Amino acid sequence: MSQPGTLTWFARHECRLAWRDWLWMMTAGRRSRARNVAIGLVLFALFLHGVAWFMVGGFAPLGEHPDKAALLLVSGNVLLAMALMLSQAMESVTRAFYSRADLDLILSSPASARRLFAVRIGAMALSITAMALLLAAPFLNILAFQGGWHWLGAYGAIAAMGMAATALAVALTVALFRTIGPKRTRLVAQIVAAVIGAAFVIGLQVAAILSTGTLSRLDVLQSESLLATAPAADSLLWWPARAMIGEPLPLLAVFAAGSIMLGAAIAVFARVFAGHAMAAAGLAYGSTKQTGRTGAFRSASPMRALRRKEWTLLRRDPWLLSQTLMQLLYLLPPALLLWRSFAAGIDAPALLVPVLIMAAGQLAGGLAWLAISGEDAPDLIASAPISARQVTRAKVEAVIGAVAMVFAPLLAGLALLSPFAALMAAIFTLIGAGSATMIQLWFRSQAKRSQFRRRQTSSRVATFAEALCSVGWAATGALAALGNWGALFTGLIVLGILAAARMLSPARRGR
């Protein structure tokens, strides 16, 4: 057994915490769900392998003798994966600063703080790499099965990307701490993480819209203009792509580069990590001093005050920002396509309507969870001079109002292009947001707002029902915008899903 305070001892501690966190996220703290979760993961892995067979099977031969076109395609996917991993790494580093409650206990012990944070940075790299490998494994396995075992070298390339992403995230977050301080870093880091995660995808979509008038990223990566400006096939810039394909020398170089970056980050920043983490913890838990002027108390009706309270909390929530900002950023390409379609007379409502409806449903589901299940002062609200029904109504109005403020400009722009499509989009956006909110009402369970990223563990039925309704209403709205009577059929299916969710809800079953 390892001695307390050693690297292996801290590593065991971090692994134990990571395992408990993952197990709680999957089972919501109920061990009885472990078997169902295991079966679900196996079925999900088989499903992903089937999807990968149809999606990437045709690209497997590209790794045998890669030309510029193949390297460009692989490089695009490498940059996309790196952007997503860097975004996740920044979120992990920020959570380590602001959400871990064990810093006072550990830092007051005689153990080395530098050793602890060295292990913690390594644990972040391991968790980010593991998550990326779990998602990429089905696609890599299919590529290796159809194109050769050299594709398995991509596992090493992804591990190198995970180490590099963690090193960059630590360096960037520490730089933010030193530049703007711990108070602003909490907000800015979440914004930067969301922007990084969406920037490459949005950039490709914007390029596709401007060049081909579609949202197809594949068309951009295979365009003649981009291929003509790309470097020669023997350039060192292609080594990350060649590492993904499994070429030995590029793979070894990329893995060594990722290891060096992570080692340098640990050597440089582990010793200063403790001070920044304590400053963040003091801000999160101990800072109650108010600065600046406070506004005068304004008299309002109880329902209006409750709606204002919900909007204020949603606006101030730093963790909500990174979750919802990503969804809003992905609305930028449809907005650009809408503007370009209006200017060029291109027919795009069939594409825009389902995108808006689905995004509205997802946003409403998250906001509804915060307003209903994530209420931090239920006793205070219950003691207010307002009935429970009025409380629920005010919360629903606050959620729907927030969604309306986000999507109203896009719906107005769509109305200039196609009034009928805008009307259908507005109707089904409202219906989709209302459905997601009702599902959260039926499956409400008291939780803390800090558990927002784990809200899907409260009920698997609610999670799947919300996702199916979002997709179903998007399809229904698209068919309605095209004047297709099939919208009635898909609408009835979604109503059936809602009815089944209502029948399975704890409120209906009296629990």
pLDDT tens across 92-151, in order?
887 776 665 566 666 666 666 677 778 888 888 888 898 888 888 888 888 888 888 888
Query: Across residues 239-262, what is the average pLDDT?
Result: 91
Domain count across the chain: 2
- Least confidently predicted of 191-195, 197-201, 234-238: 197-201
Do 235 and 372 belong to one domain? no
Banded pLDDT at 157 (limits 50, 70, 90): very high
Domain boundary among 223, 257, 285: 285
User: What is the SS3 assignment for 383?
Assistant: coil
Clarify whether residues 351 and 454 are in a common domain: yes
Single out the residue in 285, 311, 340 at which a domain terminates: 285
Average pLDDT for 424-433: 91
Give the residue with greater pLDDT, 203 vs 405: 405
Q: Which of 54-63, 243-252, 269-278 has the highest mean pLDDT?
A: 243-252
Give the best-scoring range by mean pLDDT among 316-330, 392-406, 446-460: 392-406
Shared-domain flag, residues 369 and 273: no
Q: What is the pLDDT of residue 167?
A: 93
Q: Is residue 102 part of a domain?
A: yes
Of residues 36 and 147, which shows the higher confidence score? Answer: 147
Tokens (6 digits) for 270: 């582990």
Residue 30 resides in a domain: yes
Rounded average pLDDT over 471-482:
87
Domain shared by 390 and 449, yes or no: yes
Query: Residue 339 above 70 pLDDT?
Result: no
Whether residue 439 is predicted with pLDDT greater than 50 in this model: the reply is yes
Question: What is the structure's pLDDT at 492?
Answer: 92
Which residues span the domain enclosing 79? 7-285
Q: With 0.75 as the threshold, say if the pTM is over it.
A: no
420 lies in a domain? yes
User: Which residues are CB-neighbours of 386 under 8 A, at least 6 positions away?
Assistant: 302, 303, 306, 394
**Domain match, 343 and 254 both:** no
236 and 264 within one domain: yes
* Residue among 52, 326, 308 at smallest CA distance from 195: 326
Between the alpha carbon of residue 379 and those of residues 309, 375, 388, 398, the distances in Å are: 15, 10, 12, 20
In a domain, residue 37? The reply is yes
Question: Is the confidence at residue 42, as pLDDT, over 90?
Answer: no
Lookup: tokens for 102? 């064990």
In a domain, 61, yes or no: yes
- 181 & 312 share domain: no
pLDDT, residue 162, reads 92
Residues 225 and 274 in one domain: yes
Averaging pLDDT over each range in 145-154, 342-351, 451-460, which range is the top one?
145-154
Residue 252 has pLDDT above 90, yes or no: yes
> Which range has the worst mean pLDDT, 286-290, 342-346, 491-495?
286-290
- Residue 190 and residue 151 in one domain: yes
* Relative orientation angle of helices 349-368 and 460-481, to the nearest 10 degrees: 150
Average pLDDT for the chain: 76
Question: Would you say 215 and 333 are in contact if contact means Cβ atoms under 8 Å apart?
Answer: yes
| Mean pLDDT value of segment 205-226 | 65
Residue 1 covered by a domain = no
Using 50, 70 and 90 to split pLDDT, how confident is the model at 262? Answer: very high
- What average pLDDT does this structure show over 6-28? 70
Evaluate whether residue 308 is within a structural domain: yes
Q: How confident is the model at residue 268 (pLDDT cuts 50, 70, 90)?
A: confident
pLDDT value, residue 105? 66
Type of residue numbered 476? T
Whether 328 and 447 map to the same domain: the answer is yes
Q: What is the mean pLDDT of residues 1-6?
A: 63
Contact between 326 and 194 (Cβ < 8 Å): yes
What is the C-alpha to C-alpha distance for residues 382 and 302, in angstroms, rounded to an integer? Answer: 12
**Mean pLDDT across 428-433:** 91
Segment 372-393 shows an average pLDDT of 72
Domain-located, residue 290 = no
Q: In this model, does residue 479 exceed pLDDT 90? A: no
The answer to whether the beta carbons of residues 52 and 142 sit under 8 Å apart is yes
Quick one: three-class SS letters along 260-327? HHHHHHHHHHHHHHHHHHHHHHHHHHHCCCCCCCCCCCCCCCHHHHHHHHHHHHHHHCHHHHHHHHHH
Please state the rounded mean pLDDT for residues 144-160: 88
How would residue 421 be classed by pLDDT, with cut points 50, 70 and 90? Answer: confident
Cβ(182)–Cβ(283) below 8 Å: yes
Mean pLDDT for 367-371 is: 78
More confident call, 63 vs 251: 251
Across 19-23, 97-101, 274-278, 363-367, which has the greatest mean pLDDT? 363-367
DSSP readout, 338-375?
A: HHHHHHHT---HHHHHHHHHHHHHHHHHHHHIIIIIT-
Q: Which pLDDT value is given to residue 267?
A: 87
Do residues 95 and 225 share a domain? yes
Residue 287 reports pLDDT greater than 70: no
In this structure, the answer to whether residues 117 and 36 fall within a common structural domain is: yes
- The whole-angstrom separation of Cα 395 and Cα 399 is 6
